Structure 1
Amino acid sequence: MNTIKKINDELAIAGQIAPDELKSLAQQGYKSVLNLRSPDEQGFQDGEQLYTQLLGLHYANLPTRCTEINPQIALKVLQKIAEMPKPALIHCDSAARAIAMVLMYISTKQGISLEAAFKQAENFGLIEDVMSVKT
């Protein structure tokens, strides 16, 4: 599972994941998968939701376009992460969107405002990196 990076006991990130990686996640005790990719993105896995659910994992797809990330979009993603059973995997095509969202989620859980967390992600170059990745 070279593409999956554990961030803490609750969250991991990845780029596009393969069916064997989903199976391994389920075996490791993960409970949820949040896919930030849009169905019209090249390489989107149409069967990911069904396969994830067959493995007994909770699945959500919250398409988040690189060029549209702003505090309002981030809030929707952070709310989805908060409500998902943990541990959870957050993924997109390259992991850029996933890491930006996970770091903002962790920051807000530590008491930082969403605006400050978003600014922090911008200052670290995460939002810029996300914006430079083509959807």
Structure 2
Amino acid sequence: MLSFSTIRRINDDLAIAGQVTSAQLKEVAIEGYHSVLNLRSPNEVGFPDTEQQEAELLGLHYSNVPVNPETLDCDLTLQVLRQINVLAKPILIHCSNAVVAAAIALIHVAVSQGLTVEQAFQQVESLGLLHRSYEGDRVKVRHKGVRS
């Protein structure tokens, strides 16, 4: 059973977490997950330098798509969504504190249910995970009218 204090199952294909430990990676592999999607930047303090190697030794597919919540936009979101679509499921998506991972997972679910990326952003914003701002609130989401 996954450590739900850190790892939260969203649906049959996705779970989210903040930064995971080596033990949690092992647990994810044992639980039948096939992939890890790390949304952290290699320049971030505390970036797990050995995570890819550890994940791959456990038989997990690994991808790192750095997402800076301060500059998250539709183009980057679409890049992450494309990566989710090609990775073997189920996938553990993680960032430093699970907030960006949660936002991305919810956007993925909404888009897979037929919403545009813009509509999905609105749903995520309504949950308080992202705040649209052009003046510099917590997280800026730039929209370019891109549809998924």
TM range (shorter): over 0.9
Bigger radius of gyration:
2
Corresponding position of 1:132: 138
The equivalences for 1:20-59 within 5 A come to: 20-59=23-62
The AA in structure 2 aligned to 1:132 is: R
CA distance in 2, matches of 1:13, 1:24: 14
Given the alignment of the two structures, is residue 99 of structure 1 paired with residue 105 of structure 2, yes or no?
no
Between the two proteins, what is the percent identity of the paired residues? Answer: 47
**Which structure 2 segments of 5+ residues have no match?**
140-148
Deviations 1:83-124 (A, max 9, x none): 110000000000000000000000000001111111221222
CA distance in 2, matches of 1:4, 1:71: 26
Q: SS in structure 2 opposite 1:90? A: strand
CA distance in 2, matches of 1:29, 1:85: 11
Q: SS in structure 2 opposite 1:89? A: strand
Quick one: higher RCO (CA 8 Å, sep 6+), 1 or 2? 1
Shift of 1:81: 0.8
Q: How many pairs does the alignment contain?
A: 132
Q: SS in structure 2 opposite 1:52? A: helix
The equivalences for 1:11-22 within 5 A come to: 11-22=14-25
CA distance in 1, matches of 2:117, 2:86: 17
CA distance in 1, matches of 2:96, 2:90: 20
After TM superposition, the score normalised by the length of structure 1 is 0.93
CA distance in 2, matches of 1:115, 1:132: 18
After TM superposition, the score normalised by the length of structure 2 is 0.85
- Give the superposed CA RMSD: 1.5
Given the alignment of the two structures, is residue 63 of structure 1 paired with residue 66 of structure 2, yes or no?
yes
